[in-house]
Structure 1
């Protein structure tokens, strides 16, 4: 389901399909289709501007990184030192692999030229002649689409010799990773690109100064770069007319879980989950929202009390979570919070690179305790213990993987501590229907009905 599928009157008017505008067309991934929809017009305008002017234009537009942190894209480009006589590199992070996050892969599969055009513009801006796309290796169909798109764009003259002007060549390399979640961390990605084990680097120096091959490097998310052509073509004022002052523009919301019509919904920053659920038919028939994640499993979960929180960086942060990748996982009242958090914790323990002690040891022990709590073999004191372990990981690990592992623990204990206690006192999961125990504290009427 894409934004275009739901255009029209009513709440659907909130959607603003740009990246997903023609995903449903036959052969949407081809150069001909992309050109027919105005493709590579933004690049033409950018090449008529000085590189520094392009950076300033993207900065003025207010584009923020769509990979999780929301750092201003133009400002990141501005950090690249000039006149240093070193090669500059652009690296696109397409190693999408967090539970619930599923926007970059369909974008690359359906509209890869939006990324390639954005790469050409960004390379012109930062004075780079070589760009890399680091793609998660398991998604072989996307890898083939990307190779096909690069070949088309090269044959059309958008890449290769003199692509960015006389004497300014542009080479692009598509690299398939080996399937490690940690390589989504930008410095681990760079180590992997250089042929080493993917593990986070100590910073400083930051990639902008010493990144790939110890040269100035910009690392951006797929959606961040793919959004640049529309800004250059339609104008920064148009971009700022969407969203709000601090979080302008359009973005892809990945709606998944117990919803009637899951899919990609492209709209301005600042719409709410309630509005998205209205457009997607609500929760599955006969069920109610219990909890959800605003940006994948590494962001603190929220509840039905937060349905009207604007989905922008500031509002979600004020609500106690992070917008992240806008991976909106929705869970209904049949879901066991402890079971869900245990599965997420198992993922982070499995994907920990093992470089730092807090994450390597902490995630292991969190898994052991969470499994005991789920099975009813723990003690009430173990709830404080998992909180303490998560606190010893959060902010103390080499990279943000540790923070992501701690986030579901903290937030689930905040909102659903009673459910944790019931697992312990009731000797097992109250949602396990194979058991005769009934959780007297379960009251489905306490959850807000959001069915359309």
Structure 2
């Protein structure tokens, strides 16, 4: 078995000037591209299928299967779009990857575009992430000058252009079809599916949308092979993963580990709980994934393990909270975020998040009633599965899981309100 601490995706991060082409080439950079161009697109798609690589953006869909959806004919342009609109609260894996090792993304883009017969790739970067946007642009310019981009790449006859595009900081543009609308110059709102992007995506042409970490994994798979990749992680969720750990830990940051690593192991890597105050609750994949408690320390953090325990792996944004934090307060802050970021296209999400935030604000302010808990759950039930995209489903996750595990804290807010009312009447 591969040493669980052997870095793969992050192995260049601490090298001097790791973002420069010269450093990247010294550390096996663009060797995978040369190897890939000697094969056929079909062979590359099969390699990614065999590796078991799953999308690192949250859904976990098999990347090779997604690539195979692209039609083999080229009567229309094929587009590869990279979702670098990292906006999920707690998520911070793609931005440091683009900062420290942008050429791994660029090389992955070229290989993926070759496999899908695409000649134009767009990298959609979150607008507030100015520094990685500039660094990625610099890496693309270096790749053009070195002959890795443009026409007749490395004498293969394949040509590719990469456009780095800055969004305007809308959370909804992390949804792939809203991202495509934004790229086309329209207001970012999710599209009705079908048709799916593979059939009619950017400019109504076949399009594949992949996450940054997914594509950055591709050069390593090409060089190492499918069997090597499968030695890390678990059978249905192979490979390494970047876990973003924030909150009440001694050393928050990005930690690379095989898929299936537990929070107990991650806390050891991060130096344990800050100031020794015990763990109370945590999120496995950002605020849109149902929260876990201290009882879930040994849940394997892969796609199947998190789902079997009642949550989702999501973006592996592990937010850790100790016993000093009020669950209703944390849930209220997350809900205010989703209310603000709702695009307003569908009624359940637009109206539902507004009322959820209003009720939670009233409860945290000490003006709640016991009936408010039932109202919260009823509104959540009317949003879940009924909103146009997954934003609505994500918005209700912290509320339903918070009440599931910490109902007493919500009731305590209502009881204190009752005591205040009784005292005022007396």
Same fold, TM exceeding 0.5?
A: yes
Q: Which residue of 1 aligns with 2:424?
A: none
1:235 deviates by 1.1
2:233 aligned to which of 243, 251, 262: 243
Q: How much does 1:383 deviate?
A: 0.2
Change in CA separation of 1:23 and 1:166 when aligned onto 2, cut-off 3 Å: closer
Q: Is 1:196 equivalent to 2:190 in the alignment?
A: no
- Kindly state the Cα deviation for residue 98 of structure 1 after the two structures are TM-superposed: 1.0
Q: Is 1:269 matched up with 2:259?
A: yes
Structure 1 position 225 matched with structure 2 position 201: no
What are the equivalent positions in structure 2 for 1:1-400 lying under 5 Å apart?
Answer: 14-163=4-153, 166-400=156-390
Counterparts in 2 of 1:122 and 1:416: CA distance versus 1, 3 Å: same
5+ residue gaps, structure 1, are 1-11, 429-452
CA distance in structure 2 between the aligned counterparts of 1:287 and 1:35, rounded to whole angstroms? 45
Q: CA deviation at 1:426?
A: 1.6
Cα deviation code 1:241-275 (max 9, x no counterpart): 00111000001000110001111110100110001
Secondary structure in 1 matching 2:276: coil
How far the C-alpha of 1:281 sits from its partner, in A, is 1.2
Give the CA deviation at 1:355: 0.2
TM-fit CA distance, 1:286: 2.7
Which segments of 5 or more consecutive residues in structure 2 lack a partner in the other structure? 419-426
| Structure 2 residue aligned with 1:3 | none
SS in 2 for 1:425: helix
Aligned counterpart, 1:402 = 392
SS of corresponding position for 1:151 = helix
Distance in 2 (alpha carbons) for counterparts of 1:279 and 1:201: 41
1:431 counterpart residue number: none
Contact preservation (8 Å) 1:86, 1:215: yes
1:416 aligns with 2:403: no
Name the SS of the counterpart of 2:274 in structure 1. Answer: coil
Contact in 1 for aligned 2:147/2:154 (Cα 8 Å): no
Residue aligned with 1:401, SS: helix
Count of aligned pairs between the two proteins: 417
Maintained 8 Å contact 1:80/1:217: yes
Tell me, yes or no, if the aligned pair for 2:288 and 2:394 is still in contact at 8 Å: yes
Distance in 2 (CA, whole Å) between partners of 1:16 and 1:252 is: 12
**Does the 8 Å CA contact 1:164/1:170 hold for their aligned counterparts?**
no
Shift of 1:164: 6.9
Contact 1:376 1:425 in 2 (8 A): no
CA drift of 1:82 comes to 1.6
Cα distance in 2 for residues equivalent to 1:389 and 1:136: 31
Contact 2:7–2:256 under 8 Å retained in 1: yes
Q: Kindly indicate whether the alpha-carbon contact (under 8 Å) linking 2:290 and 2:310 is maintained by their aligned counterparts in 1.
A: yes
Decide whether the 8 Å contact of 2:369 with 2:417 is kept in 1: no
Residues 246 and 320 of structure 2 are in contact (CA less than 8 Å); yes or no, is this contact kept in structure 1? yes
Partner of 2:255: helix, strand, or coil?
Answer: strand
Please tell me the root mean square deviation across aligned C-alpha atoms, in Å.
1.2
Q: Distance in 1 between matches of 2:412 and 2:12?
A: 49
Instruction: State the TM-score, normalizing by the size of structure 2.
Output: 0.96
Secondary structure of the residue aligned to 2:332 is: helix
SS for the counterpart of 2:417 is coil
> For residues 121 and 287 of structure 1, do their structure 2 counterparts lie closer, same or farther at Cα, with a shift above 3 Å needed?
same
Query: Deviation digits for residues 48-94 of structure 1, max 9, x if unmatched?
Result: 11101100000100000000000000000000112150100000000
